Structure 1
């Protein structure tokens, strides 16, 4: 991303227009929210990622995929484990 200074102006309503080249390069669309932080060098704008953008937390996506096969009960799992252990024991594996 080229670093080229751009000039903008603060409006009477306290608004600043971000130059189109910067908005395009950063893929910022209308409605993008920013965290505004004062720093020793000036003011820092950080876009706030909305759900579905950038990184996601496990809490945001848990359960969104459908299971590929039918759900199995705990009793069915225990039975399958016992059956497999018995087969391995019969083969002398344990």
Structure 2
């Protein structure tokens, strides 16, 4: 678990390890959802590796896999993780 601090301009700086592990780049946009147990951030676009693989003709997961991943992520978030 990482601890971050809100600065005077209202910004939160995410740890580099977290950004790198998700393959987020400068300009990545997120949706933010206010939940009873906290905030939930989700990137609006697939990370660059996925987009590049699809452009090269390599289709990673199926729609069903993606829906399952979303359900697991939502459940995990509801448990406070």
TM-score (norm 2): 0.55
**Bigger CA radius of gyration:** 1
How far apart, in 1, do the equivalents of 2:43 and 2:49 lie? 11
Superposition deviation, residue 40 in structure 1? 1.2
TM-score (norm 1): 0.48
Alignment deviations for residues 25-48 of structure 1 (CA, whole Å, 9 cap, x no partner) = 000111110001101110000001
- The answer to whether structure 1 residue 26 and structure 2 residue 22 are counterparts is yes
Q: Verify: 1:15 aligned to 2:11, yes or no.
A: yes
Alignment of 1:6 onto 2:9: no
- The structure 1 segments of at least 4 consecutive aligned residues displaced by more than 4 Å after TM superposition are 52-55
Instruction: Call closer, same or farther: CA 1:24–1:53 in 2, change over 3 Å.
Output: closer
Over aligned residues, Cα RMSD in angstroms? Answer: 2.1
What are the ranges of 5 or more consecutive residues in structure 1 without an aligned counterpart?
56-94
Aligned to 2:35: 39
Q: Deviation per CA, 1:35-73: give whole Å up to 9, x if none.
A: 0110111000000117x8868xxxxxxxxxxxxxxxxxx
Distance 2:50 2:21 in 1: 16
Q: Say how many residue pairs are matched.
A: 50
